[in-house]
Amino acid sequence: MNRITLRLVQGAMVAMMAAMIVLVFGNVVLRYVFNSGIAFSEEASRFIFMWLTLTGALLVMHDKAHLGMSTVVSRLGETGQRACRLLADAGALACCLLLAHGAWQLVAIGMDDRAPVTGVPLGVVYACLLVCSVGMAAMLLHGLWRLASGRMAQHELVPQSGASGE
């Protein structure tokens, strides 16, 4: 993911979080102070939360910050580390492809159904699964290609999640 795309995704996440805060806080204030509320607030904030969570998972995958079993793998030699990386990435890719397949079907079915309050097609809501799984699959494919072609350096074989402190 290039820097511009990364900044756009991060900006979109900030905007989604801000929208969620405004919707939920505004609804709470309206309910307790004015005894009314925003009808679509709960549903819209739930949909935004889904997109926010899965977009965040995609960014965490990009940063190689997902939890992993690096204690054992880091003690193996380079060949063992490469084998473990291959197995882990291939397994994760298989899961992402299954998720993408199911998400595609869910999006296609959901385009005919609409959310009861907002009227948003549910396929648009479920598309976050498709975007996340396809994005992760692309990153995993790129990593597998680098691993198979020998372009992945040894220090990249065992991701050190959370150690950078950025």
Per residue in 32-86, pLDDT (tens digit) is 998 888 888 999 999 999 999 999 999 999 888 877 778 788 888 889 999 989 9
**Cα separation of 63 and 86, whole Å?**
18
Q: Is the pLDDT higher at 96 or at 64?
A: 96
The pLDDT score that the predictor gives to residue 87 is 93
Count Cβ atoms within 10 A of the Cβ of residue 151 and give its class: 0-12 exposed, 13-18 middle, 19 or more buried: exposed
**Cα separation of 95 and 133, whole Å?**
9
Question: Taking residues 128-133, what's their average pLDDT?
Answer: 95
